[in-house]
């Protein structure tokens, strides 16, 4: 459900920026979303379609770029992409902790006309 609030903020930001550039339309929005952010692409798309209605962002294509979650092993220091299940280091089997990579949620770019 938090996708509604972040999508609402995102639409406001892109519309404000496009208006500053005197754009008539926003045709594309590129979003970067980390796997640990808990943001669901389909929910963002659904809310975007509703919230953007009647704005210059209506009909814009959303492009989602996913960032894999990185972990660092407490035992050996290995940095690795989180496996599908668990947090175990593929090198030594130790416990991995998040590095911060994979928590992203930001607008990478907008394309305007």
Return binding residues for Zn(2+). Answer: 73, 76, 89, 92
Strand order in the sheet with 26-34: 61-67, 26-34, 105-112
Q: Where are the beta strands (DSSP E) in the chain?
A: 26-34, 61-67, 70-73, 79-81, 96-98, 105-112
DSSP string, 32-61: EEETTS---HHHHHHHHHHHTTTSTTTTPE
- Binding-site residue set for Ni(2+): 2
């Amino acid at each position: 459900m938090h996708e509604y609030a972040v999508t609402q903020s995102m639409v406001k930001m892109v519309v404000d920026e496009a208006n500053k550039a005197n754009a008539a339309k926003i045709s594309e929005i590129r979003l970067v979303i980390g796997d640990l952010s808990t943001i669901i692409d389909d929910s963002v798309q659904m809310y975007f379609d509703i919230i953007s209605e009647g704005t210059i962002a209506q009909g814009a294509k959303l492009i989602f770029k996913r960032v894999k979650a990185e972990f660092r092993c407490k035992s050996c220091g290995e940095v690795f992409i989180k496996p599908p299940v668990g947090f175990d280091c593929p090198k030594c089997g130790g416990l991995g902790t998040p590095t911060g990579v994979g928590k992203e949620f930001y607008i990478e770019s907008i394309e305007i006309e």
